Amino acid sequence: MKRALMDLFPPIEPYAWGALEVGDGHTLYWEESGNPQGPPVLFVHGGPGAGTAPPYRRFFDPAHWRIILFDQRGSGRSVPYAETRFNTTGHLISDMEKLRRHLAVDRWLLFGGSWGSTLALAYGQAHPERVTGFVLRGVFLFRESETEWFLHGMAAFYPEAHRRFVAHVQGDGDDVLAAYHRRLTHPDPNIHLPAARMWSGYEESCARLVARPDPVEPDGAAALAMARMECHYMVHGGFLRPGQLLEEVGRIAHLPARIVQGRYDIICPPVSAFDLAQAWPKARLTMVAEAGHSAMEPGLRTALVAAVEELRRICS
């Protein structure tokens, strides 16, 4: 085990996995690990489009939790890959309910970061009776100001990355989001793959408190789902009403939540986590001083494991 990941639980393998047909031509990958008899926890990945990975199982004590991971529509091992048709927040909420019933889960703890926090909140507000609590990181409420910040505001901190990001679509109109949407949804790989590399590279450049000394150029095919899906959801306002997630927080106000936020999260600035915590009586916000956006930064990893352990005593 790498010393840098000693604050997580040991690596584990899933004991069950499968493919769930959810309609509209989409099939989701899912897996379970940990304790089959334990209280269920659902990992809601970010992006949208990022998919899951084995390290995400390690935020949870495998002796206690029934750990459930799944790849959202168009993401990871779900098929069709990078597909935006029939891919909205409403579809994803419905998919989570189909997965819950398929796995015979009554209620589960939701763990989500970045877009995962958005979807966890949207699902919880739609089905509060199916949730025991929330662990949220890098809160993104899909307000117009947050999308505008991603597209342009981050230039205040990462001007060189933003300049490359904008330059890729220079000459394709003044609307950067619309220009990327045209390219990322273009059928020609010679057009959508370079755009995917640029979009993902921009986000990766801004994701950590301390940038990697030797950043890896994103592979276009691997980056396509996240870049295309993020752009697709931004163009459509997250398929949410303006202000919906804060306005509807009363539906989950009785449920416990632990919000973990990097103080220097440039992608999802702390004001969103703060606003959510202020509106939610049973939420507690932990601001991690030396952290940015990535869940795998040391301070965030430690705080997330502690948050899950705390809710273990409340929700189990």
pLDDT in tens, 95-147: 999 999 999 999 999 999 999 999 999 999 999 999 999 999 999 999 999 99
Q: Are residues 282 and 298 in the same domain?
A: yes
Question: Is 272 an annotated catalytic residue?
Answer: no
**CATH number of the domain within which 90 lies:** 3.40.50.1820
Last residue of a domain, one of 205, 238, 271: 238
Among the candidates 220, 238, 256, a domain finishes at 238
Contact of 7 with 59, CB cutoff 8 Å: no
Same domain, 132 and 166: no
In this structure, are 121 and 34 located in the same domain? yes
Q: Identify whether residues 230 and 278 lie together within a single domain.
A: no
What is the percent of the chain where pLDDT is above 90?
90
Same domain for 95 and 8, yes or no, is: yes
State the total domains in the chain.
2
pLDDT of 5 reads 64
Of the residues 45, 64, 75, 265, which is catalytic?
265
Q: Which two tokens stand for residue 59?
A: 């935020």
Task: Convert the pLDDT of each residue in 157-184 to its tens digit.
Answer: 999 999 999 999 998 888 999 999 999 9
Q: pLDDT tens digits, residue range 221-234?
A: 789 999 999 999 99
pLDDT at 147: 98
Tell me the residue range of the domain where 211 lies.
144-238
Q: Which of 238, 270, 293 is the last residue of a domain?
A: 238
Q: Based on the domain organization, do 161 and 121 belong to the same domain?
A: no
Q: What is the mean pLDDT of the chain?
A: 94
Give the chain's length: 316
Catalytic residue chosen out of the listed positions 26, 64, 192, 293:
293
**Shared domain check, 253 and 116:** yes
Are residues 21 and 42 both part of a single domain? yes
Count of CA atoms in the C-beta half-sphere (13 A) of 140: 31
- pLDDT for 229 equals 98
Q: Which two tokens stand for residue 122?
A: 């949207």
Average pLDDT over residues 207-221: 72
Catalytic residue, from 75, 78, 114, 200: name it: 114
What's the pLDDT at 211?
72
Q: Same domain for 290 and 231?
A: no
Whole-structure pTM value: 0.96
Q: Is residue 256 located within the same domain as residue 124? A: yes
Give the mean model confidence (pLDDT) for residues 64-93: 98
Tell me, yes or no, whether 197 and 103 share the same domain.
no
294 is catalytic: no
At residue 131, the pLDDT reads 98
Mean pLDDT, residues 245-271: 97
Respond yes or no: is residue 114 known to be catalytic.
yes
Q: Domain check: are 110 and 124 in the same one?
A: yes
Tens digits of residue pLDDT in 12-21: 999 999 999 9
Measure CA of the first residue to CA of the last residue in the chain; give whole Å.
29
> Residue 219 carries which DSSP code?
P
**Which element (helix H / strand E) includes 230?**
helix 220-235
What is the rounded distance in angstroms from the CA atom of residue 279 to the CA atom of residue 283?
9
Q: Give the pLDDT confidence of 290-302 residue by residue, as tens digits.
A: 999 999 999 999 9
pLDDT above 60: residue 4: no
pLDDT at 215 (0 to 100): 58
